Amino acid sequence: MKSKRKGLIAFGRPLIENDEIKEVVKTLKSGWITTGPKVAEFENLFKEYVGSKYALAVNSCTSGLHLALLVAGIRPGDEVITSPMTFAATANQIIHAGAVPVFADIDRNSMNIDPKEIEKKITGRTKAILPVHFAGRACDMDAILRIAKKYNFIILNDAAHAIETKYKGKNIGCYGNITVYSFHATKNITTGEGGMVTTNNKEYAKKIKMYGFHGINKDSTKRYSFNKYNHYSVSYPGYKYNMMDIQASLGIRQLKKIERYSRIRKYIWDKYNDAFKDLPCSTPKEAEPLTRHAYHLYNLLIDVDSLKTSRDRILNELINENIGAGVHYLALHLHEFYAKTFGYKRGDFPNAEYISDRTISLPLSPGLTNKNVNDIIRKVKKVLNSHKR
């Protein structure tokens, strides 16, 4: 994203190169700009990348999560267990499906939902578990799958951070029932806005496509054939969640570069880890064995106790130093809506609150120059050292 403030090193600046620009222009000139052949091509490449049977492109991960919940049969009154350490979209979509988001606390080291906490939150109304693979780190899928099997729950993955994430050799989308990815501008690859839903279930795939385009049973490329008019029939009051070819042509080029981007992210990640190891903060933990981390967010935990200061003070000082730092996330149960509606309060999820009070995300995108990275390191050191007593 373009920095609003002069000199600010933006938090998530995507790398858009000439080949992407050319591809998008080609689509613009092709006469077909909305859902069509480029979306189909992107879906095929993505399902190959994940190793799933189906991939359905949507206009955001948010709308993909909504569709996933609906086609999985989540109904009003049902409960879906998820993490409080996530973006609002995760829980909001559970509400839009008519269900109740039930938070289960995270593990402090992985910042992912703790399977032991999931078990404590199960009631007669629980229907699904929605693990968020936070920062690109795989959740403990063996434990989550065990719980799902025991109680016959659906698993819907929020893989917004986790395009490259692997668990025991396979992409995270190979586990559970439906997985949803994001291509928002700050995510590991981008289509501006956009998302992808993957599944191995043919019925789910058919419904996701249909519900995501007005509940119409035919795809638009077939609808507008040249020799005769094809009437369409609406079989469900669907939504307008389709991705455009303009977006898909960007995504196709981005997906080809995902390994290069991943190496750059890891390089910056290691450099940060090395530079910050003696500061009053803790750096992200190593990925668990047999997993691949997508290195989506670099979360530094500020040692607010020894520094006797607040995270927000450090955050604002970094912003004043032109570092586009962010917070991922203020724990969801502390937000006004969730606290008021479900009666959540501080103290309910101590581990999520621990992270929520200390975390600062530093820019970690392939769009950063070496100079940017060195500036960030220098300024983080300067700000944190100035608080040491």
Ligand X SMILES: *Cc1c(COP(=O)(O)O)cnc(C)c1O
Count of residues near ligand X by CB under 6 A:
14
Measured N-to-C along each axis, helices 370-387 and 258-275 cross at an angle, to the nearest 10 degrees, of 30
Asked if 368 contacts 13 with a C-beta cutoff of 8 angstroms, the reply is: yes
Stretch that binds ligand X, among 33-41, 57-65, 232-240, 261-269 (CB under 6 A): 57-65
Tokens 């803790």 correspond to 282
User: Whole-number minimum distance, CB 58 to ligand X, in Å?
Assistant: 9
Question: Which DSSP letter does residue 193 get?
Answer: S
Q: What radius of gyration, in Å, describes the C-alpha atoms of the chain? A: 21
Tokens 């729950």 correspond to 153
Asked if 378 contacts 386 with a C-beta cutoff of 8 angstroms, the reply is: no
Alpha helices in the chain (DSSP H): 18-30, 37-50, 61-71, 88-96, 115-120, 141-151, 202-211, 220-223, 245-256, 258-275, 304-307, 311-320, 336-342, 350-358, 370-387
Please list the residues that pair with 157 across neighbouring strands: 179
- Asked if residue 242 binds ligand X (CB under 6 A), the reply is no
Asked if 117 contacts 105 with a C-beta cutoff of 8 angstroms, the reply is: yes
User: Whole-number minimum distance, CB 378 to ligand X, in Å?
Assistant: 28
Residue placing its CB nearer to ligand X in the complex, 79 or 158: 158
Residues 132-151 that bind ligand X (CB under 6 A): 132
Nearest Cα to Cα of residue 140 among 329, 328, 288, 286: 288
- Asked if residue 299 binds ligand X (CB under 6 A), the reply is no
Asked if 84 contacts 106 with a C-beta cutoff of 8 angstroms, the reply is: yes
- Asked if residue 195 binds ligand X (CB under 6 A), the reply is yes
Residue placing its CB nearer to ligand X in the complex, 182 or 372: 182
Mask 153-192, x = binds ligand X (CB under 6 A)? Answer: -----x-xx--------------------x-x--------
Near ligand X by CB under 6 A: residue from 27, 35, 52, 62: 62
Q: Which residues contact 341 (CB under 8 A, 6 or more apart)?
A: none
User: Whole-number minimum distance, CB 112 to ligand X, in Å?
Assistant: 11
Mask 90-119, x = binds ligand X (CB under 6 A)? Answer: x-----------------------------
Active-site residue 187, yes or no? yes
- Asked if residue 86 binds ligand X (CB under 6 A), the reply is yes
Residue placing its CB nearer to ligand X in the complex, 255 or 279: 255
Asked if 299 contacts 293 with a C-beta cutoff of 8 angstroms, the reply is: no
Near ligand X by CB under 6 A: residue from 87, 103, 153, 344: 87
Residue placing its CB nearer to ligand X in the complex, 89 or 318: 89
In whole angstroms, what separates CA 133 from the centre of its chain?
A: 8
Which pair of structure tokens corresponds to residue 281?
Answer: 């903060």
C-alpha torsion sign, points 44, 241, 205, 69: positive
Residue placing its CB nearer to ligand X in the complex, 182 or 249: 182
Near ligand X by CB under 6 A: residue from 27, 35, 52, 60: 60
Residue placing its CB nearer to ligand X in the complex, 195 or 238: 195
User: Whole-number minimum distance, CB 132 to ligand X, in Å?
Assistant: 5
**Active-site residue among 47, 127, 187, 207?**
187
Tell me which residues are annotated as active site. Answer: 187
Residues that bind ligand X (CB under 6 A): 60-62, 86-87, 89-90, 132, 158, 160-161, 182, 184, 195
